[in-house]
Amino acid sequence: MSQPAVLKLHQELRKCFQNIKENQTVWRGVLDECSSLVSSLGNLAEQLRALKRTEIEKTPLGTFPNLPELLQYKLLNAIDTVLNQLREKVNAFGSVRDSVIKHVCAVFKMYEQNSDSLPISTCVARCALSPSISDMLEWLQDTERYYRIQYMQRKNLLQILKPDDLTLLESAPKRWLSLASPDGEERISDALCQVSFFLESD
Amino acid sequence: MDEATSPARKGNLTGSARKLKDNAADWHNLILKWERLSDEGSTIATKIVNFRLSKESVKDPEVIMEGNSLSGAPAEKSAYESNPELEEECIKLQNVVERMAHILSKMEKMVSAERGICKLEAFQYGEKGRPTPLFQTWSTQQFVEVSSKLYEVYKQELALKRTILREVAHTANPDLCMVYLSCWLHQPYIQDNTKILLESLLMETGHKAV
Amino acid sequence: MVLDLVVVPPETSDLGSQRCRLGLVLMEDLGLRLGSPVLVTLQGGASCLCTAWPRPDLAEAYLQVDPTCSSAQLRPDALRGLRLGSEGLRALNCPRVKRLRVTALVRSGEFKRRTSAQEVGALAAELLTGLYVHEKHLVDISHAGTPIHSLQVDTVNSGSHKAGRVTPETRVDVVSVRTLETYQRWERKGSSVPLGGLEEVYVTLKEMLTLPLRYPISTRRVGVTAGRGALLVGPPGVGKTQLVRSVAQDVQAALVTVSGPVVVGSRPGESEENLRAAFTRASEAAREEPCVLFIDEIDALCPKRSSSTGTPENRLVAQLLTLMDGVGSDEGFVIIGATNRPDALDPALRRPGRFDREIVVGVPTLQQRYQVLQCVCRSVPLSPNVDLYSIAEKTSGYVGADLSALSREAVLHAILHSTQGGAGDSGQSEVEEGDVRMEHFVKAMRMIAPSCLRSSVGVAEFTPVNWERIGGLEEVKLKLRQSVEWPMKFPEAFVRLGVCRARGVLLYGPPGCAKTTLVKAAASSSHCSFLCVSGAELYSPYVGDSEKALAQLFQQARACSPSIVFLDEIDSLVGCRGDGGGCRGSSVQAQVLSVLLNELDGVGFKTTERRGTGLSERQETRRDQRMQLQEVCNQDVMIVAATNRPDMLDSALLRPGRFDHIIYVPPPDLQARLAILKLHTEKMPLNSNVCLEDLATRTNLFSGADLENLCKEAALLALHEEGMSVSTVQQKHFQKVLQHFQPSISSQQLLQLQQLFKHNYN
């Protein structure tokens, strides 16, 4: 009796997982692009720090007029550029997140609408081809939360980075790396793995 | 009037206008070449610095370990001197700088040529120079000014690079090494206005659309 | 069906997911769907809002709760190993939240300073999206790694709903941003001690704090640099520290406490360093929120600078002054010092700009004591026979600390009583099980002496004496009652007639005529503090010591007013100022006399001894009115002196206004003697042949003491003559004693005394 509802939900779930699969690749790609940007950011910060620590007048470069100021200006400019690029990347994360949220929300909405014809016993029923509805919903929720938090953390980190705060800039690559949560990524991959048969059993 | 606005459209220019336009194109090409060389040089310089720094960090424990042994001093010395790799890189960098110097000499020539044109005009039209500009709005004098400004910037930059070349392999201070590298990489004397000067030169001479 | 669930810690993968894992059957029972909200309520009222999910292994008897959104009192470790009935779970209807008001708790003050409320709001909204929130719950979002640690939900949909689900459309208003540290501090402080009787000072202090702390902008606009310091002066135990704490809490200011002795270190420069550190701490806190730096026992920190004290002190004082000057007035930073020895402070400290105001917290007056008692007895089950008012009356000189000790002691007595009495008289204890009764207070009062009388010069322990214990002397008793007891008992009448209480009473009369006993009776009947001075206590080999001791005595007496200072044998104490005839008047005596004269009607007392002004505008019940009147009438210290050599007294002492009443205590007349004899033979088995009337007639000129002695001697004689087993004292014993007995008063002496004040007495 609940078969039509289950089928409908399964359809929606497939769509959603498909979407997550695509978004995961996008996310990874953007993340890769970011890593070089972030490391160059760290590098620039390091250069700026070195410049601040060095007394140019006492070095062979002392004869060059305005060198420290000019160099600092250049470096700050470069940092600004990198930050802007990073901002774009984070916006890309944002769109991934939005897309995931949209799809997950749709699935949950459908579940809530049809929950009267989907008793819990049906929801927890598993078979060889498909995991239980409850498990899948759970994975979706986890994934959504993962992307949500990841996006927020990365955006937040970027927001607090200011060209005049050297210490923060220097620590940026480390902090960026520390945000990576292999666990979360792995959980998404696991989930995708577990639903792979389900996706094919269209 | 038509002489002033038309030459860009006319195609085959003659005399001073021809010369100035060619020079502008040369500026563009030379600066491009310079950038390429600079990039090349910065990779080499990075190698050198990394080499120096890694050696520093390796050397430190060595000194501690062999502090009072007899072999300590010669080992250190060898680390400093007989280093073909480092030398090779240094020579490469020197090459780059030489080629940059060559570019600079070309730039210098262009500046002096433009000065000559200016003098010629002064001779032709008196102290006030040409009554109507050769291209859009610039007087010949302005071409000279722009060129010499560009030249000054690159001259300064070359001097900086020469200094870096001389010092980079002999500095143990990592901070200073870093400063050398960033100086090479970011070319502090080539600021935004340098690029604007070049751009406006190209626009004036009609290489780029306004 | 009630299931007993074992609470197991949540999986790490569920951390921050707000999930609550439970069994399938239970979910069905509760009508829960996947991910529908459920409120988990623990014993003790702590609750936690979760979303229901089945356990992966579908086991029934376990419950895993992720405490992301839980009430503040839920401690994370409270969930460990807990057993919970399934009735603690309840499905909750959670509509979408339109408006949410939250308080953000951030990790660092730096973030709070750098970020605007809007930014925090946006971040909070993002963090909350998708979560279910419940009113008054604390949403822990620390796992997201943002600077916001958690969010406290103030209202959901402006209070119309208890709980709801946050969606991207929810409008999240961040009401205030606080650092986690501050929040935890407030949480810890939670319970405040109510303060009784300090309302006036409280209001003054609060006003002082609120102006610069709460309205910094308007005070700045008016162009007034707000006061930045207040000095609280008052004897120990009146609640200075407590007052500052509660005011700081009331105005929501952080409180940094520095106690003087703790700051002082042995290493050179250490004290200054500690002091600087305290100021830095306070100004650090002041950047967050208004801050009160409270320096307790400031006299230890800032003694008078002088050449005699060591330089370390001087340096410390200088450091304190510099630091106080360095505090910008607009920093939301107020310094409060407290001391009980204001005179020991360096005068440089007590000027506007440093301690702008000095607030005197005095020993509580009668009304204040009543309020304090009401406060400290708030949670004590009082039996109806406890009259706090009469306790307040009897506890003159008690400060707040004493009173709270008193109530504690009374409660202890009550507990002791009920545990002991449980076996004995079960009928009575049944009625008032655990109640604290009046007698417990009376007992406790005996244990706890008023602290402002501790280590005082003239504190006397004496057994209370009834007026009835004194035979005869009805006229004198009446006089004494007039001057001591009436002002206490009939204040209305005194005020109505515009009479004020007598300043001083001088009792004179031949020795042994119950002068001292009379005073004791007066003191015990009026519940005054009773201070008693004798020459031995007062005199000291050091110059100026006696005068100081006397002045201190009066200061204490004033602090504990209403009080009676009793100067026995005043002639030996002060004597007569040397006008040739006063051969006894040494210079010390003359000086003591001058102190006494000054204390009797000096210009006024010092500001630091000020006590409540009694102007509090409260609704006046008859009792309140009475209390006020009583206070008005009894502010002063009453001096009672006794002598048998009134001619030796300086005439300056004897004028009205000093000793208003000069009462002659005559040797007992016939009736009085009879009464005295009756009193003293009360416990004596008298033979029927003893005729007390006869004895009374035969003992003319005998003083009370003589009569007492007579009875005693007669009894001893009886023992001597009849052996130890004697059963009664007979008339012959009295007569035999009387034969050898010389009255201690001679008729000549008596005449002299009677003559002395004839002109102003009669």
pLDDT tens digits, C357-395: 778 777 777 778 888 888 878 777 777 777 887 788 777
User: Is B44 inside a domain boundary?
Assistant: yes
Instruction: Give the other-Cβ count within 10 Å of A146's Cβ.
Output: 19
Q: What are the phi and psi torsion angles at C257 (to 5°)?
A: -105, 130
pLDDT band at B67 (very low <50, low <70, confident <90, very high): very low
User: What does the DSSP 8-state code read for residue C459?
Assistant: B
For the record, the structure tokens of A51 come out as 């410049």
Q: Where is pLDDT greater, at C579 or C68?
A: C68
Does position C193 have pLDDT exceeding 70, yes or no? no
- In the numeric block, which tokens belong to residue C196? 């009784």
Residues of A in contact with B189 (CB under 8 A): 70
| Rounded mean pLDDT, B163-190 | 86
Q: What is the DSSP string of B135-175?
A: SSS--HHHHHHHHHHHHHHHHHHHHHHHHHHHHGGG---HH
Helix locations, C327-448, DSSP H = 366-376, 388-394, 400-424, 426-431, 438-447
Q: What is the pLDDT of residues A1-50, one digit of tens each?
A: 457 888 888 888 888 999 999 999 999 999 899 888 988 988 888 888 88
- Quote the percentage of chain A above a pLDDT of 70: 99
Measured between alpha carbons, how far is residue C185 from residues B87, C181, C189, C254, C286 in Å?
Answer: 65, 6, 6, 9, 14
Tens digits of per-residue pLDDT, C558-575?
777 677 788 877 777 776
Amino acid occupying residue C434: G
Contact between residue C17 and residue C68 where contact means Cβ atoms under 8 Å apart: yes
B neighbours by CB contacts (3+ pairs under 8 Å)? A
Instruction: Identify whether the C-beta of residue C51 lies closer than 8 Å to the C-beta of residue C20.
Output: yes
The rounded distance, in Å, linking the Cα atoms of C289 and A106 is 45
pLDDT of residue B70: 42
- As a whole number of angstroms, the distance between CA C132 and CA B184 comes to 56
Residue B10 lies in a domain: no
CA nearest to C489, candidates C629, C365, C618, C605: C629
Q: Look at chain B and report how many structural domains it folds into.
A: 1
Average pLDDT, stretch C585-604?
69
Helix (H, G, I), strand (E, B) or coil at C689: coil
| DSSP secondary structure code for residue C145 in this structure | -
CA distance C732 to C695: 11
pLDDT top residue among C724 and B44:
B44
**Edge-to-edge strand ranges of the sheet holding C661-664:** C529-533, C563-568, C637-643, C504-508, C661-664
Mean pLDDT of chain C: 75
C33 SS3 class: coil
Question: Using 50, 70 and 90 to split pLDDT, how confident is the model at B9?
Answer: very low
Residue A63 has pLDDT above 70, yes or no: yes
DSSP state for residue C436 in the 8-state scheme? B
pLDDT value, residue C105: 83
The CA distance from A131 to A142, in Å, is 16
Is A54's CB within 8 Å of B179's CB?
A: yes
- In tens, the pLDDT along C404-460 reads 888 888 888 888 877 765 544 444 444 455 677 788 888 887 777 777 666 556 666
Q: Is B124 on the interface with A (CB under 8 A)?
A: no
Average of per-residue pLDDT across B148-167? 90
Joined tokens for residue C742: 């010389």
At C620, the pLDDT band (50, 70, 90 cuts) reads very low
Tens digits of per-residue pLDDT, C119-133? Answer: 788 888 888 888 888
CA distances from A45 to A31, A36, C140, C152 (A): 21, 14, 34, 38
Residue C496 burial by Cβ neighbours in a 10 Å radius (0-12, 13-18, 19+): exposed
Beta-strand runs (E) in A103-190: none
Q: With contact defined as beta carbons under 8 Å apart, do C561 and C637 qualify?
A: yes
pLDDT at A88: 92
CA distance B7 to C21: 83
Q: How many CB atoms sit inside 10 A of residue C12's CB?
A: 7
Helix (H, G, I), strand (E, B) or coil at B91: helix
Both tokens of C515, joined, read: 């002068």
Q: Of C664, C656, C637, which is closest to residue C487 (Cα–Cα)? A: C637
Within a domain: B66: yes
Interface of A with C (CB under 8 A): 108, 111-112, 115, 119-121, 123-124, 133-135, 137-138, 141-142, 144-145, 148-149, 152-153, 156, 179, 183, 187
Predicted pLDDT of residue C580: 43
- B141: confidence class by pLDDT, cuts 50, 70, 90: confident
CA C528, distance to chain mean position in Å, is: 18
Tokens at residue A101, please? 């949220």
Q: How many domains does chain A have?
A: 1
How many angstroms separate the first and last alpha carbons of chain B? 19
Region A140-156: mean pLDDT is 88
d(CA C128, CA C68): 11
Give residue C637's Cα distance to chain centre.
21
Identify the top-confidence range among B77-86, C119-128, C537-546, C609-618. Answer: C119-128
User: How many interchain CB pairs under 8 A, A with C?
Assistant: 59
Query: Tokens 């004493």 correspond to what residue?
Result: C402
Q: Which of A65-79, B191-205, C37-51 has the lowest mean pLDDT?
A: C37-51
CB C130 within 8 A of CB C169: no
pLDDT digits (tens, 9 = 90+) for C285-333: 777 677 788 888 888 777 777 665 567 777 888 888 888 877 765 566 7
Q: Containing H/E element for C71? A: strand C69-71
pTM of structure: 0.58
Residue of C nearest to A157 (CA): C146
Say yes or no for a CB contact (<8 Å) between C33 and A112.
yes
Residue type, C404: S
The mean pLDDT value for B108-117 works out to 90
- pLDDT-derived band at C27 (thresholds 50, 70, 90) equals confident
Q: Phi-psi category of C674—alpha, beta or left, where left has phi over 0 and alpha has psi -120 to 50?
A: alpha
What crossing angle do the helices spanning B174-186 and A67-114 adopt, rounded to 10°?
80
Closest CA to C49 of C162, C170, C198, C218: C162
B27 within a domain of the structure (yes/no) = no
Tracing tokens 């060559």 back to the chain, one arrives at B102
Contact (CB, 8 A) for C100 and C171? yes
ipTM of the complex: 0.83
Burial of C244 (0-12, 13-18, 19+ CB in 10 A): buried
> Residue B63 has what pLDDT?
42
Q: Is the dihedral of CA B79, B81, B84, B88 positive or negative?
A: positive
pLDDT band at B98 (very low <50, low <70, confident <90, very high): very high
Whether the pLDDT of residue B84 is over 50: the answer is: yes
User: What is the full DSSP assignment across B41-85?
Assistant: HHHHHHHHHHHHHHHHHHHHHHHHHTTTSTTHHHHHHHHHS--HH
- DSSP class of residue A42 equals H
Within-domain flag for B62: yes
Cβ(C161)–Cβ(C95) below 8 Å: yes
C219 or B63, greater pLDDT: C219
Torsion of CA C540, C542, C544, C550, to 10 degrees: -20
Instruction: Report the alpha-carbon distance of residue A104 to residue B26 in Å, rounded.
Output: 59
Q: Could you tell me which residue, B201 or C555, shows the higher pLDDT?
A: B201
User: What pLDDT is recorded for position B11?
Assistant: 56
Query: Identity (one letter) of the amino acid at C466?
Result: N
Q: What's the pLDDT tens digit per position in C255-282?
A: 788 877 777 777 878 888 888 888 888 8
Of all residues in chain A, what percent carry a pLDDT higher than 90? 15
Task: Tell which residue, C684, C254, C757, has the closest CA to residue C509.
Answer: C757
Q: Using the predicted structure, report yes or no on whether residue B175 has a pLDDT greater than 80.
A: yes
pLDDT for A81 equals: 92
Six token digits for residue C655:
């004028």
Indicate yes or no: CB of B188 within 8 angstroms of CB of A53: no
- Domain span holding position B89: 36-204
pLDDT at C148 over 50: yes
Q: Are C631 and C557 in contact (CB under 8 A)?
A: no
Ramachandran assignment for B208, one of left (phi > 0), alpha (psi -120 to 50 degrees), beta (any other): beta
Q: Domain range for residue A133?
A: 3-200
The residue assigned the tokens 């520095």 is: C258
The partner residue sitting opposite B182, judged by closest CB among A59, A63, A71, is A71
Q: What is the pLDDT of residues B196-210, one digit of tens each?
A: 988 898 888 888 776
B17 domain-assigned: no
Q: How many CB pairs under 8 A join A and B?
A: 56
- Confidence band, pLDDT 50/70/90 cuts, at residue C612: low
Task: Tell me: pLDDT of B69 over 50.
Answer: no
So what's the pLDDT on residue C430?
Answer: 42
Checking if the pLDDT of B79 tops 50, the result is no
Residue C557, both tokens:
């007496």
User: Is residue B152 situated within a structural domain?
Assistant: yes
pLDDT of residue A26: 92
Answer whether B179 sits within 8 Å of A46, measured CB to CB: no
Amino acid at B34: W
Which pLDDT value is given to residue C189?
A: 56
Distance CA C167, CA C95 (A): 10
Distance CA C706, CA C741 (A): 9
Q: Which residues of A touch B (CB under 8 A)?
A: 46-47, 50-51, 53-54, 56, 59-61, 63-64, 67, 70-71, 73-75, 78
In whole angstroms, what separates CA C17 from the centre of its chain? 52
Contact C631, C583 (CB under 8 A): no
Cis peptide bond prior to C312, omega within 30° of 0: no
Chains B and C touch (3+ CB pairs under 8 A): no
